[in-house]
Structure formats: C-alpha cells, structure tokens
Structure 1
Amino acid sequence: MHSPTYGNISFEDMISKIKNFISKSPNSEYNISVGTDSQNFDYTKTVIVVSVYRRGHGGIFFYDIKNVKRINNLMQKLFYETSTSLEIAIKLLKAFEEEKINLGISIHVDAGNNGSTSKFIREITGWVNSYGFDCETKPNSYAASSIADKFSK
C-alpha cells in the first residue's frame, strides 16, 4: 500500500497506522471506506483505496495500484472494481477483528444513477450487501469516485 502521509507500507503497517489514528480520538465517529476505480490505457490501471475519515476532523487514506489486462466491457470493469474492493474489505475486516477494532466498513462503488453505470447499481449494491457491507454509490462514493479516480489517471 502507499500513503501520502506514510509512504510505501505493508498491509500490516497500514492496519497499525489505522489503529494508531483511531486511538488518538477513540470517542470520535469514523467512516472506513474501501473503493476502487480504474482507467483504460493499453492495460487497465486499477487503484484500490482504503479511507479512514474521522468525522469533522479529516482523515487518512492508503492506496494500491494494480495493472491488469485491458478490460473493455463496462459491466466487467465495474464488477472487477467491486470484487477488488470486497477482497480488500474482507481482509481489513479480519485484521480489525484481530486488533479489536470494532468499526464498520463501507464499499464505495464508482457507479451512479446518472450515466451508463446506472443499470448495474441494483446488482452491485445487492452483491456488496450480501457480504454484510454497506454500499455507497455516486455522489457519496468518494473513496472510489474521488480519491481512487485521482490516482487512476
């Protein structure tokens, strides 16, 4: 993973940084989000983001970049982004349980009611919810549609 604050770190170090961030203000409310966005070049550049937002007081985020064979089909690309987010969220949830961090995780999907992705929202949100995660879509899916988008270009 990479962080603008901490540089290149391992997944385990990211968990430690999140735990430390939360411990500085344990009574605050937190939103932990995982989102993925991708852009096509000769390949598909995929950016996965883990965002930890302390309500009213900013936050930290981490991201990872994966390059995969070009995905041209919009539905396949959106499902790939969502499966990548789910994979990281499940791994995060297990690490949080081990560290006694009792916070929910939401999945941010780069899809919205306006545009070509709108027809996939019901399937995607149902899929994410079936794993026990909340699902946010545009305009509320900032981890995917803002942070990941910035690094995917």
Structure 2
Amino acid sequence: MNFYHPRRGKCSFEEMMSEIQKYVREDPNSEYKLMIGTDSMTRYKETVFVTAIIIQRVGKGALFFYTKRTHSQMKELRYRIYRETEYSLTCVDLLKEHGFFRMFSDIPMEIHLDIGQQGETRKVIQEVVGWVTAVGYQAKIKPESYAASAVADRFTR
C-alpha cells in the first residue's frame, strides 16, 4: 500500500512511520493526538476511497499522510460508509502490527467518520459508531471528524 505526503509525494508505510516518529521526537514534551479517517467519492465508473492519517501536535500544527483505493462504482451510501469505516480500522491494524502503539502508547487515537446528524448519513450513525467503539476506539462524527470530512475529502477529487 502506498502512502502520500501532500508535499513530498509517494512514500512507503515504513517511510511514513519514520516521518511520524521523527515528528513526535522533535518535540517530545508536546501533547499529540492521532486521527484516522476515510472519505469516498463516487464517479461515473468508480468509487475512490481516501484514508488520512494525521498526527497532531496539539496547538502547534500537524503532519498527515493519506492513501487511496479505487473500486468499481458503489452507489449505495450505507455500503460506502461501512467500507470507509473498514478502511480506517484496517489502517489502525496496520499501525498496530508495526508497533506504533508500543512506541507511542500515550498518544490518544480517534477514528473520524464521515457521517453526521445532517443528511442521509444520520441513519447509520448508531451502527457505525457502535462498531468503532465495540472494537475499542473513540469515534468522532461531523463536525468533529475533520480527518475524514476535510482532509481525506480533499484528496478524493
């Protein structure tokens, strides 16, 4: 799986991990937060999913990366929301497998979901938030879910 930095371009998962470690170690006394969120955009023949990984140095900026996946067109909103959530949780699993949470056990993590009280996505809030919390993570919805609704959304186009 390839990851992208908005200015540096394509990088491997290992390079992304290295950059995150370097970023946290530059200012070890700061407070950090990890946010992961996925958004999707359906076009004529395909649906593009973008997962954003953001490490925020609270009050002092952030570093982020993203990855893209393309599927055949998915028109059903519920299915797309479930797939977005699945991709965010898969990304967490990948970070776990590579020891991220052993290195930075004190950094809180949030899963940002591209759903909210307005519009059609309100119908799946309980289900999707329940899924994320059932596997032990904190879920955020709009307007607090900017990793999905702002950052990932920007790169779906």
DSSP-derived class of the 1:106 partner? strand
Q: What is the aligned residue count?
A: 152
Give the aligned partner of residue 12 of structure 1.
14
Q: TM-score, normalised by structure 1?
A: 0.95
DSSP-derived class of the 1:65 partner? strand
Q: TM-score, normalised by structure 2?
A: 0.93
Give the aligned partner of residue 48 of structure 2.
45
Amino acid of the structure 2 residue aligned with 1:151:
F
- Give the alignment partner of residue 94 of structure 1, picking from 93, 97, 104: 97
Give the aligned partner of residue 73 of structure 1.
76
| Aligned residues with identical type, % of pairs | 36
In the TM superposition, what whole-angstrom CA distance separates every residue of 1:4-39 from its partner, at most 9, and x where no partner exists? 243211111111111110001112111111110000
The answer to whether the 8 Å contact 1:89/1:105 transfers is: no
DSSP-derived class of the 2:120 partner? coil
Unaligned 5+ runs, structure 1? none
Give the aligned partner of residue 31 of structure 1.
33
DSSP-derived class of the 2:155 partner? helix
Query: What RMSD in Å do the two structures reach over aligned CA positions?
Result: 1.1
Alignment partners' CA distance in 2, 1:139 and 1:73:
23
Return structure 1 stretches of 4+ with deviation > 3 angstroms. none
Matched, 1:58 2:61: yes
Matched, 1:135 2:139: yes
Unaligned 5+ runs, structure 2? none
The answer to whether the 8 Å contact 1:93/1:105 transfers is: no
Amino acid of the structure 2 residue aligned with 1:94:
E
